[in-house]
Copies of this chain bind each other. A is one copy, B any other.
């Protein structure tokens, strides 16, 4: 069971920073959010965009985000199953946050392929 994160926002008063963090934290949520900001996607479309994320993890993250009201899950009762994920209004409202994260990352985070390979 995914277990809802953010059970305790008991940081100092006024600290909604942590609260927000709890929503977008979780190994792959940032990326998922980022991709869904661009377009609605099917399960395996997301999967292909994040090759290092296992199926189980992706399901978990999506479920948590759904529970948090960030994304909407639409199931088509077709015979090759079809499920589409999209952002809710609430999810879309995270855009400035994701944008800020990406902007800082682009400027400050060095993605070193060598190191990534070495670590793997």
Q: Name A's B-contacting residues (CB within 8 A).
A: 7-12, 15-21, 23-25, 27-28, 30-31, 33-35, 49-53, 90, 93-94, 96-109, 111-112, 116, 119-120
Contacts and interface: CB of A to CB of B under 8 A. Distances in A.
Contact of A9 (B12, B23, B97, B111): B111
Give this chain's copy count. 2
Given A20-B101, A21-B25, A93 B116 contact: no
Nearest to A68: B108
Given A10-B119, A25-B25, A51-B12, A20 B96 contact: no
B108 A20 contact: yes
B105 A11 contact: no
